Amino acid sequence: MPTPLRRRSTGARTLTTSLALAASLALAAAPVAAAQSTTQPSTQSTSQTDGTIAAGSLGSTAGTPLPASGSLGSLAQPAYADYVALGDSYAAFGDQTELADGATAQACGRSATNYASVLGTNPAVGGLTDATCGGAQIPDLTASQRSGVPPQFDALDSTTDLVTLSIGGNDVGFGTIVGCITKQGPFASVPNCQTAIGTTIAATIAETFGEGGEIDDVYAAIADRAPGATVVATQYLPLMPAEGGSCSFTDQLNPADVQWARGVAEAINDAVDAAARRNGHVSALPTSDVDRSACAPADQRWTDFLGGAPTNAAAFHPTALGQQAMSDAIAAAI
């Protein structure tokens, strides 16, 4: 009997962030997650693709090159017959006016425009089982997240040959980070987030993603259930613009908190990438030489601060354009 993965209570599972800056929004169904990646070669990959480190969810990808074209687009028949997508809201969400079919998909807020759905249309990918779910934490991979939502690992078996994984951001308390930089709830009067929660967040990142930590248990469990699978750890798309960039939303935040949040995102991203490589897999993040942050024009941004029209994204989550870019990065990585 597999050992259940560990759960840490960080306050990140349910978070309502009422943004006096622009709008009130609820993130209870799916707190924000963050990470970053470098595309690295894998012993299980069909091709090797070199990449560059790019800043992640609260950071920026501005000024970094696009990944090289991957192997999938050139294949006439499926290279991966059984694809399973695992993860949290950064994998599950997209255009939230286009939810996937089925009660579980609806309960998880799973968009028909998420990167798994886009990648699943590639002729080099066969059947897709999308088990992603908004708000997921590491233990939800092996235990039911809530009524009607089975453990995500139930989707894996010995025939699974491709897995994408987006997990850990909620475990390290990314919702808490968002609450702090927007000065909500208990953080309303803190002078800066580095002082208030910086040490705790850094320790939790190390515990979750460090060697021998929870994420290593995840990779071991995937190997037990799907021993022949190529695994791609997907990272989280940029919210904040690069240093020096801003927009009306970020202009209303404490500049010190914005700078700290970028650093935290980069630390998470580095840890996620290191964990993927340490376990013999790859990680992927699309990069661009133009701003794709939530400060970018609506038709260019990969994430959205407030959500809703015109992108129809969930607040603080990827847009459909961002999910398309992530799908392309995964294809390049494998």
Kindly give, in sequence order, each residue whose CB lies less than 8 Å from that of residue 239, ignoring residues fewer than 6 positions away. 32, 34, 57, 58, 293, 294, 303, 305, 316
Q: How far apart are CA 197 and CA 302, in angstroms?
A: 27
Catalytic residue among 45, 60, 89, 327: 89
Across the chain, which distance is largest between two alpha carbons, in Å?
58
Q: Does domain 36-333 have CATH number 3.40.50.1110?
A: yes
Contact 275, 38 (CB under 8 A): no
Q: Is 89 a catalytic residue?
A: yes
- Other beta carbons within 10 angstroms of residue 52's beta carbon come to 13
**H/E stretch holding 164:** strand 162-166
Helix (H, G, I), strand (E, B) or coil at 258: helix
User: What pLDDT does residue 268 have?
Assistant: 86
User: What pLDDT does residue 6 have?
Assistant: 63
Helix (H, G, I), strand (E, B) or coil at 321: helix
Q: Which two tokens stand for residue 185?
A: 């709830």
Domain boundaries in the chain? 36-333
Catalytic residue among 57, 111, 281, 317: 317
* CA-closest candidate to residue 240, choices 213, 221, 262: 262
Contact 56, 265 (CB under 8 A): yes
* CA-closest candidate to residue 273, choices 54, 107, 122: 54
Q: What is the pLDDT along the chain (334 residues), one digit of tens a residue?
A: 555 676 554 433 332 222 322 222 222 233 333 222 333 333 333 333 223 223 334 544 443 333 333 456 544 568 899 999 999 999 999 999 999 999 999 999 999 999 999 999 999 999 999 999 999 999 999 999 999 999 999 999 999 999 999 999 999 998 899 999 999 999 999 999 999 999 999 999 999 999 999 999 999 999 999 999 999 998 888 788 888 889 999 999 999 999 998 888 888 888 989 999 999 999 999 999 999 999 999 999 999 999 999 999 999 999 999 999 999 999 999 8
Q: Is 317 a catalytic residue?
A: yes
Q: How far apart are CA 332 and CA 334, in angstroms?
A: 6
**Integer CA distances (angstroms), 333 to 213, 222, 248, 283, 323, in order:** 25, 19, 35, 7, 15
Angle subtended by helix axes 214-225 and 193-209, to nearest 10 = 30
Q: Which two tokens stand for residue 12?
A: 């990140």
The full DSSP string for 202-246 is: HHHHHHHHSTTSHHHHHHHHHHHH-TT-EEEEE-----SPPTT--
Measured CA angle at 20 (ends 14, 24), to 5 deg: 50
